[in-house]
Amino acid sequence: MAKTTAESLFGLNAGVVWEALNQNGASNIRNLVKVTSLSREEVYGALGWLGREDKILLDQKGRAMVFSLRDEEVSLSVHRETAIAKPEPVKKSKPRKSKQPKKAKKARSAKAPVKQAESPAIQSERTEEFLLH
């Protein structure tokens, strides 16, 4: 089984982002995340890879950053499509569902010990003893 390296992971993601930019034209981060099914972090890593290879252009449109392929890269797309099969987009893992906190268990109430029924004679004897003291 092949070991996944940082280069292979970022390189594959860069290929997915490159294909998305090639097919859809200039895009911002939100659109790239939607089209590629990669996380924001993975798209940023892929854009960094492509930027380091000088394959993309960056434009500021208001508050948004818009990324596009260089003109030389767009002309290469015709050759790439015939030579390389398109990579499948990396499937995004499902977010974890947060578990509801467990309900606190109610404390059990201590039951009073069951008193034995006393005979009336014993009750009157105890009452007298209590009153005399």
pLDDT in tens, 14-30: 999 999 989 888 989 99
- The predicted-structure confidence for 33-76, as pLDDT tens digits, reads as follows 999 999 999 999 999 999 899 898 888 888 888 888 887 766 66
Q: Is the pLDDT of residue 86 over 70?
A: no
Give this prediction's pTM.
0.53
Other beta carbons within 10 angstroms of residue 129's beta carbon come to: 9
**In order of start, what are the domains of the chain with their CATH numbers?**
6-83 (1.10.10.10)
What is the rounded average pLDDT of the residues 127-132? 78
Q: Is the pLDDT of residue 82 over 50?
A: no
